[in-house]
A and B are shown apart, each in its own frame.
Chain A
Amino acid sequence: MNALGNRWVRGALVVAVIVVALGLPIVGTPYLIDVGTLVLVYIMLGLGLNVVVGYAGLLDLGYAAFFAIGAYTTGILMDDAHLAFWWTLPVAACFTALSGVVIGTPTLRLRSDYLAIVTLGFGEIVRIAATNLTFTGGPEGLYGIAHPTIGGFVLRSPQALYFLGLAFVLVVLAGSYNLARSRLGRAWLAIREDEAAAQAAGIYPVHSKLMAYVLGAVFAGAAGSFFAVKLTAINPSSFTFIQSVTILMVIILGGMGSLPGVILAAAVIVVLPEVLRAFDQVRMFAFGIGLIILMLVRPQGLWPSRIGQIERRAVAVSEASAAAGVAADAAATTE
């Protein structure tokens, strides 16, 4: 495909996404809108993890922990302290940022596999803590979390929650877009490609990496806060290792570091299992096969990042096929 054709395809896709995103709450049934809202949650999570993995190149296998911290902060503050949803957001942001520092600091010396194991452990610690602590409601979790309100209007209907989610996504999307083009974004890119060279060029890796963790954590925290009021009930089973892998799958499937890729892949990850409901018991099996086919057809991701494409054309094939392996393994363990 030549560059012009490619541009047309991309343009058409962008228009299609906007039409679907705005048209869904108007013409969709509550079920479709709910699926759409779930896509929005995964877009937020994908964009957040994209900062850590896609931009800064730090493999995080415990990302659901930040998601959980955001959800529990909002849930506990609304249930026990009867705080309004909007006031819980800055608190959740602070807590997740703090947890980003907590997990970021000891892992700064680690790379690749070692880093992955530590983050995996962190994810499990948070989930197990939530299961065993009293104030998190133990294995039963929290329930009866109020719907958010604007003035006197309660955001209860699927449409209202969808639009709330859309607003969150737009903020996170704008943040991600600007981050990638900021000084910090360039620093991440440099560290991802060659840490020693980046350091030699005057980039302070400790600061940059920590910022990646903190910002990624805050994005996930926002997604968690939204998730809590959307479901009105949360429990530790929503924040398992599989959840972390699913989010990782979103960014690998979309194409590392690519924002449109995250959006497309989030839609695929959520919608595909729904489309496959007719398969009943073999649904997740069919989902796994679907993912493997997608990775074989598009090893570089559904919508690869342009910056990455230019620099890494040579290594793209080998890396992406490794990624396909991860996604396939993950799909297999989902069952």
Chain B
Amino acid sequence: MRKWCAVVAVLALLVPLTALGAGAQGATIKIGVPVPLSGGNAKMGDDISKAATLAIEEWNAKGGVLGRKLEIMTFDDACDAQQSVTAAHKLVDAGVVAVAGGYCSSAAIPASAVYHDSGVAFVADASSNPKLTDQGFENVFRVIGRDDQQGPYAAGFMTKTLKAHRVAIIHDNTVYAKGLADATKAALSGKPGVQVVFFDAITPGEKDFSAVLTKVKSLKPDVTYFTGYYPEGGLLAKQFKDLGVSGKFMAGDANNDPTFVTEAGAAAEGDFVTSTPLPQDLGTAKAFVDRYKKRFNQDPGPYSALEYDAVNIVINAIQRAHSTDRAAIIKAIAATKGYKGATGSIGFDKKGDRTTILYIPYIIKGGKFTPYNVSS
């Protein structure tokens, strides 16, 4: 009985090996897609790999690229540093010409070192941590914005669209919120006639912010920008209106959560939140959203459009480079300019960050996050 168990176990292990052998085809061009397929972020990984599948299916329907069919290789990185490095080695070994994917920054950053050492292009779709491109690897790009790009974006929105002259900034001393607050302050200090009248932190977990807001009120700001997270954001928005502080209330992307509105209630009406747009809220992504729904019978995830663009940029680069040589592809991706993707125009700066900043303002209307049309 035991022997049989052992035999069955060994056979069960051999099945995937043969499957791997059958999957290898010489002529296809392989693009690696490392995503979390196990653990808490598996849903995101699934959304991302579906978008990549859609992208290559569309190219293959048109005959592929350079006369060859395309294939994606999806490997589970479990959003884990150690597993992502192993998956990266596996992708490189499998002969991928470039990699487009990743989700967690904590997995993408260690894996990027492996891609760098093997000279493979890595176009990250969802890792917004500044550290990823700050490493100075010439092979690393990203189609999503950086966490520290939101500050300058928010500053521009306040001064240009909301015509603010006096700005109050409230953060909560966490790494992310402090970073966003610092970046916003730095961007504002360069603008003529704009003054940061208040810059201080609240304590996460507190419920009563009247002391801070009374101080803010006395300074008569045009815009008050909160860079922390939604549990405090919703309460701040409510107490902001209750105390009758002047100007608009605005919050960072960690407040793009329904809880913000539930907590603030009617007081949230007309508040602004700067955030990365969902595919559904992007005019340029409409065709993509339709095709995605038709193919998979479900809505795309928050990062699907970005992954779709990342894969397309790689294929586009292969076409322009007229080669599947890894180094040639890196060069071609770096030269990408004004690519019309589902998430808008895409080009890369020296670090590999996206030049066009991908943030939009949301306004709260009728208790819902509604994209705010800047031109109106």
Determine whether A283 belongs to the interface, using a CB cutoff of 8 Å to chain B: yes
Q: Give me the interface of B with A, judged by CB distance under 8 Å.
A: 2, 5-6, 8-9, 12-13, 15-17, 19-20, 23, 37-39, 42, 46, 74-76, 79-82, 85-86, 89-90, 92-93, 104-106, 109-110, 113, 117-118, 129, 131, 135, 175
The answer to whether B38 touches A144 (Cβ under 8 A) is: no
The answer to whether A29 touches B80 (Cβ under 8 A) is: no
In the complex the two chains form, what is the Cα distance from A35 to B87 in whole Å? 10
The answer to whether B92 touches A31 (Cβ under 8 A) is: yes
Q: Which residues of A contact B76 (CB under 8 A)?
A: 277, 280, 283
The answer to whether B38 touches A284 (Cβ under 8 A) is: yes
Known contacts A140-B106, A140-B129, A231 near B81 by CB under 8 Å = yes
Contact of B109 among A233, A238, A275, A281 (CB under 8 A): A233
Closest to A33 in B: B89
Determine whether A139 belongs to the interface, using a CB cutoff of 8 Å to chain B: yes
Contact of B12 among A38, A227, A235, A290 (CB under 8 A): A290
- Total contacts A to B, CB within 8 angstroms? 109
4 smallest CB-CB distances across A and B, nearest first, come from: A278-B16, A31-B93, A31-B89, A233-B110
Determine whether A193 belongs to the interface, using a CB cutoff of 8 Å to chain B: no
The answer to whether A144 touches B86 (Cβ under 8 A) is: no
Within 8 A of B (CB), among A1-43: 29-35, 38
Q: Which residues of B contact A46 (CB under 8 A)?
A: none
A interface secondary structure, majority: helix
A sample of 11 cross-chain residue pairs with beta-carbon separation below 8 angstroms, ordered by A number, consists of A38-B86, A232-B113, A235-B106, A238-B81, A274-B86, A277-B20, A279-B16, A280-B76, A284-B38, A286-B12, A297-B9
Closest to B174 in A: A138
Q: Which residues of B contact A293 (CB under 8 A)?
A: 5, 8-9
Determine whether A237 belongs to the interface, using a CB cutoff of 8 Å to chain B: yes
In the complex the two chains form, what is the Cα distance from A144 to B177 in whole Å? 23
The answer to whether B16 touches A277 (Cβ under 8 A) is: yes
Contact of B81 among A33, A233, A284 (CB under 8 A): A233
Q: Which residues of A contact B80 (CB under 8 A)?
A: 237-238
The answer to whether B106 touches A275 (Cβ under 8 A) is: no
In the complex the two chains form, what is the Cα distance from A31 to B80 in whole Å? 17
The answer to whether B93 touches A280 (Cβ under 8 A) is: no
Closest to A35 in B: B86
Within 8 A of B (CB), among A257-286: 272, 274-281, 283-284, 286
Contact of A297 among B2, B46, B74, B106 (CB under 8 A): B2
- Residue from B20, B82, B113 with most neighbouring chain A CB atoms (10 Å): B82
The answer to whether B74 touches A280 (Cβ under 8 A) is: yes
In the complex the two chains form, what is the Cα distance from A278 to B73 in whole Å? 11
Beyond the given A30-B89, A235-B81, A280-B37, please list 16 additional residue pairs across the A-B interface where CB-CB is below 8 A: A30-B93, A138-B175, A139-B106, A143-B135, A231-B85, A231-B113, A235-B106, A237-B104, A276-B16, A277-B16, A278-B23, A279-B16, A283-B76, A290-B13, A293-B9, A335-B38
Q: Which residues of A contact B13 (CB under 8 A)?
A: 272, 275-276, 290
Closest to B13 in A: A275
Q: Which residues of B contact A138 (CB under 8 A)?
A: 175
Determine whether A103 belongs to the interface, using a CB cutoff of 8 Å to chain B: no
Determine whether A158 belongs to the interface, using a CB cutoff of 8 Å to chain B: yes
**Closest CB of chain A to B142's CB: distance in Å?**
15
Q: Which residues of A contact B117 (CB under 8 A)?
A: 156-157
In the complex the two chains form, what is the Cα distance from A335 to B118 in whole Å? 31
In the complex the two chains form, what is the Cα distance from A275 to B113 in whole Å? 24
Known contacts A30-B92, A278-B16, A139 near B86 by CB under 8 Å = no
In the complex the two chains form, what is the Cα distance from A290 to B11 in whole Å? 11
The answer to whether B113 touches A233 (Cβ under 8 A) is: yes
The answer to whether A275 touches B81 (Cβ under 8 A) is: no
In the complex the two chains form, what is the Cα distance from A33 to B89 in whole Å? 9
Determine whether A216 belongs to the interface, using a CB cutoff of 8 Å to chain B: no
Q: Which residues of B contact A139 (CB under 8 A)?
A: 106, 175
Closest to A157 in B: B117
Q: Which residues of A contact B86 (CB under 8 A)?
A: 31, 34-35, 38, 274
Closest to B14 in A: A275
**Closest CB of chain B to A264's CB: distance in Å?**
15
Determine whether A301 belongs to the interface, using a CB cutoff of 8 Å to chain B: no
The answer to whether B110 touches A232 (Cβ under 8 A) is: yes
